[in-house]
Structure 1
Amino acid sequence: MARWLAGLAGLTAVGSAVGASVARSLARRVSADDPYAGEDFGLLHDDRSTVVTTNDGVPLAVRECGPENARVTVVFCHGFCLRMGAFHFQRDMLARQWGDQVRMVFYDQRGHGLSGDASPDTFTVPQLGQDLESVLAVMAPRGPVVLVGHSMGGMTVLAHARQYPQRYPTRIVGAALISSAAEGVSRSPLGEILRNPALEAARFAVRYAPGIVHNGRGVTRSILGPVLRAASYGDEDVSPSVVAFSESMMHDTSVHTLVGFLHALEVHDETEGLQSLAKIPTLVACGDRDLLTPKEYSQQMAAALPKSELVIAQGAGHLVQLEQPELIDDALVRLVERATPSKLVALTRRIKERTRNHG
């Protein structure tokens, strides 16, 4: 054991070299212009707050906006190393778009944001699907629900669909999978990085020697940090404030969580969940420069979903909902309209009017 732990420290140089290499290969220039220089990225903190306890006792931080008696509830599931703030622009723009017709619910996944930590044995995609069911039981026990998942959040939606098929389409009437994958990401650049021996060492430490995890903090971040940052955006004209915001979410995620979920992302297989989603209107969206979950993943999922709309954002990376928010917001409006045609007044008309007014 001692010899193995000593080896972990020795892998620091390997990890740093890999991280630097990937960063160079994914180099991206940030725009000098910043349309979001004054943006309040803490908007969600002012929304109504609740704590939902999962089936194994983990407290999840939840926020909601919109009337409790709204016709439809839309629940957002964020991705790996992020938090509910990853849907900042959806919370901001769609609240104005939907008004009192839709209630939005956001929550931090276990080990992320303000939610509680948990045993690394529970850092699995199936468990995330069960966590989503806990959120739904408390926050949306009645009425139609649309699920929106980004990255690992999309895998969460698929895991829920596989484990709770009876909810589709009786309760879950629509779903969005954004920058996600139904199977493990081993074939993407992230998958190649996950096979690095330094990360294997860190993963072992999280499970069997948690006291030394912080000693491997620099190793883990030096490998994954550059990959996650560089792959987040595809366009060269990204707002520096948006970039800083997303990087702060990644940096604030504990190494325990970061390492704990790596294996889950690599090996998960929730393709069976597509059978449940095939019964309902869906949105599948991604950026065409997404290196973590390449567009082929989205194209394959859309092909298996007969009621899907496929949206590929030109020039966007993995955080497409932050990089091109209006494109994603408009697609979500269309999804909710398709999923609840008798519930809402037509919002697509408002989008067209807004587009004309901006033209």
Structure 2
Amino acid sequence: MSRNAQWLAGAAGLTAVGSVAGTAVVRSLTRRSTGDDPYRGEDFERLYADRSSVVTTDDGVPLAVREVGPNDAPLTVVFAHGFCLRMGAFHFQRTRLAEQWGPQVRMVFYDQRGHGQSGSASPDTYSVEQLGRDLEAVLAVTVPRGPVVLVGHSMGGMTVLSHARQFPHRYPKQIVGAAVISSAVEGVARSPLGEILRNPALEAVRFLARYAPGAVHHTRGAARSVIGPILRAASYGDEAVSPSVVEFSQRMMHGTSITTLVEFLHALEVHDEAGALRVLAKVPTLIACGDRDLLTPMEYSKAMAAQLPRSELVIVGGAGHLVQLEEPVVIDDALVRLVERATPSKLVSLTRRVRDRVRFRG
């Protein structure tokens, strides 16, 4: 198809955008909580006050990095966030696990390209394969030596899978464990998100992002009217979730550029990291998902875990896609167990003693 034909097809697609979200999804956006908000006043931006640095990727994109814990800690845990989010999506993990692990674990968080405080890039680099290389750049700078556990949520889980496929020599030599949360090994065409991805309006916006970037801002509302309701409705499984948590996650989504949104949507549709599973099979893994996740349904997680003999599968009842925000204690406990399985006995023993002290005080 010629570029002019593509342009005309895209323009036609945009005229139909207003009705594609669907009545069922719109109804699900009713205000979710009528009771007290346990997180009213919570500082969800706390992570950005932590020790900061910038890592430059192999194609020159600056990635914003934050760290908690001493540089000489026996173990480093590196977190990769999901689509249309930023490192703050691990707010509860940063808060509780820093208290639990203390100086024995350093935690590294970063914003993926095109998200949060990291730089944007050429649209043709918005791929899961490139995200795997970006993670390698973060590791090379922040953890050049010593054992590492990787934690990825949603697109971040795909990032971990991509890294394992592209850099298998690091497993288990340096990467001693990995968590893949609310994610999928292959494209998400079979999920409700896959239905939305086939909407011609999104392809039209993607075309503009590549060939007429100056016009993209005119289509912001159109694209968000397609994908926004789906993302919001799928984020949480329990209508009683904290309104402050909901507001925070929506703020992250709205803060993501339209080019990042449409380009990575396409990447999520076409990615294939099945080759990563034989690599991850070498290390202990955590596979976790909410049983009400509409974006990466739990069937994806179950299929992944079935191919990883050293995995723990955690299905969180009543939770949606943002399970680490909706049920943080369940995910935190699972990450603690992963570290215990993945690290030397000395660290395991210390971690258990710290946990026991916390429980005793409670």
Q: TM class, shorter-chain normalised?
A: over 0.9
Q: Render the CA deviation track for 1:305-354: whole Å, top value 9, x for unaligned.
A: 11000001100000000000000001001101110032413434654665
Please provide the CA RMSD for this pair.
1.7
Task: Find the aligned partners of 2:110 and 2:354 in 1 and give their Cα distance.
Answer: 28
Q: Give TM-score, length-normalised by structure 2.
A: 0.95
Letter in 1 for 2:78: V
Matched, 1:135 2:138: yes
Q: Residue 43 of structure 1: which of 46, 65, 71 is its match?
A: 46
Q: Render the CA deviation track for 1:263-306: whole Å, top value 9, x for unaligned.
A: 11001000111111000000000000000000000000100111
Q: Render the CA deviation track for 1:153-208: whole Å, top value 9, x for unaligned.
A: 00000000000000000000000000000000000000000000101111111112
Task: Find the aligned partners of 2:207 and 2:86 in 1 and give their Cα distance.
Answer: 25
Letter in 2 for 1:76: F
CA contact (8 A) 2:14 2:200 kept: no
SS of the residue corresponding to residue 67 of structure 1 reads coil
Q: Render the CA deviation track for 1:3-44: whole Å, top value 9, x for unaligned.
A: 754664554452221125352364455112200001011111
Alignment correspondent of 1:54: 57
Alignment correspondent of 1:166: 169
CA contact (8 A) 2:10 2:200 kept: no
Q: Render the CA deviation track for 1:84-125: whole Å, top value 9, x for unaligned.
A: 000000001100010110000000000000000000110010
- For these two proteins, the number of residue pairs brought into alignment is 358
Letter in 1 for 2:200: P
Alignment correspondent of 1:195: 198
Q: Residue 19 of structure 1: which of 18, 21, 32 is its match?
A: 21
Matched, 1:86 2:89: yes
CA contact (8 A) 1:11 1:219 kept: no
Inter-CA distance 143–28: structure 2 relative to 1 (3 Å threshold): farther
CA contact (8 A) 2:283 2:342 kept: yes
CA contact (8 A) 2:182 2:293 kept: yes
Q: Render the CA deviation track for 1:114-167: whole Å, top value 9, x for unaligned.
A: 000000110010100000000000000010000000000000000000000000
Inter-CA distance 349–287: structure 2 relative to 1 (3 Å threshold): farther
Matched, 1:114 2:117: yes
CA contact (8 A) 1:285 1:310 kept: yes
Deviation for aligned residue 1:259: 0.9
Letter in 1 for 2:351: L
SS of the residue corresponding to residue 78 of structure 2 reads strand
SS of the residue corresponding to residue 36 of structure 1 reads coil
Task: Find the aligned partners of 2:137 and 2:125 in 1 and give their Cα distance.
Answer: 15
Any unmatched runs of 5+ in structure 2? none
Task: Find the aligned partners of 2:142 and 2:5 in 1 and give their Cα distance.
Answer: 49
Question: Percent identity among equivalent residues?
Answer: 69
CA contact (8 A) 1:110 1:117 kept: yes
Task: Find the aligned partners of 2:17 and 2:92 in 1 and give their Cα distance.
Answer: 34
CA contact (8 A) 1:61 1:115 kept: yes
Any unmatched runs of 5+ in structure 1? none
For 1:1-359, what aligned pairs fall within 5 Å after superposition? 5=7, 8-21=10-23, 23-24=25-26, 26-27=28-29, 29-32=31-34, 33-344=36-347, 345-348=349-352, 350-351=354-355
Q: Give TM-score, length-normalised by structure 1.
A: 0.96
